[in-house]
Amino acid sequence: MTKKEKLVDLLRQDARLSNEQLAAMLDTSADDVAAMIAELEKSGMIIGYTAIINEEEFDRNSVCAFIEVRVSPEIQCGYDDVAAVIAQYDEVSSVYLMSGGYDLAVTIKGTNLRDVAMFVTDRLASFRRSFSAQQHISFCT
């Protein structure tokens, strides 16, 4: 494994490590680490840095649901159109077009189980086409 590959692995584990700490772990200088990071960013290998949030501590009153949606698209209104409409709802975190047993995978977040149920019955079921959904509730993150 090259030093760059080791550096990427270390950054995946903790992107807040200083160049000096990374240099000690890689047996190189802090300047070399800074240069490698700059090169990785410039090349597009590193596209950003993000915090990993403990959702239970941050937002204790939430329920996440994964909903498998089957829908029959109509003429001039395909799966992408349906996905675009679903994605506009505030509760929706993501919508993916799927292959296999269902057409769309929708992830939503609500404050309780009733919110999730109401999303399915009030929002999704209101589409004017053949529709079915199966919900999977996540009780912890």
Q: CA-CA distance, 21 to 82, in Å (whole number)?
A: 49
All domains of the chain, ordered by start, with CATH? 3-43 (1.10.10), 55-138 (3.30.70.920)
Q: CA-CA distance, 48 to 36, in Å (whole number)?
A: 15
pTM listed for this prediction: 0.55
* Among 27-36, 59-68, 90-99, 100-109, the least confident range: 59-68
17 neighbors 7 (Cβ within 8 angstroms) = no
Query: What HEC string does 4-18 produce?
Result: HHHHHHHHHHCCCCC
Residues sharing a CB contact under 8 Å with residue 131, sequence separation 6 or more, in sequence order: 69, 70, 71, 72, 124, 125
Work out the pLDDT band at 25, boundaries 50, 70, 90: very high
* pLDDT over 70 percentage in the chain: 91
Q: CA-CA distance, 128 to 102, in Å (whole number)?
A: 18
List, as own/partner pairs, every contact residues 45-52 make where C-beta atoms lie below 8 angstroms and the sequence separation is at least 24, other chains included: 45/8, 46/8, 46/11, 49/15, 50/15
pLDDT digits (tens, 9 = 90+) for 79-125: 888 889 899 999 999 999 999 989 999 999 888 888 888 888 888 88
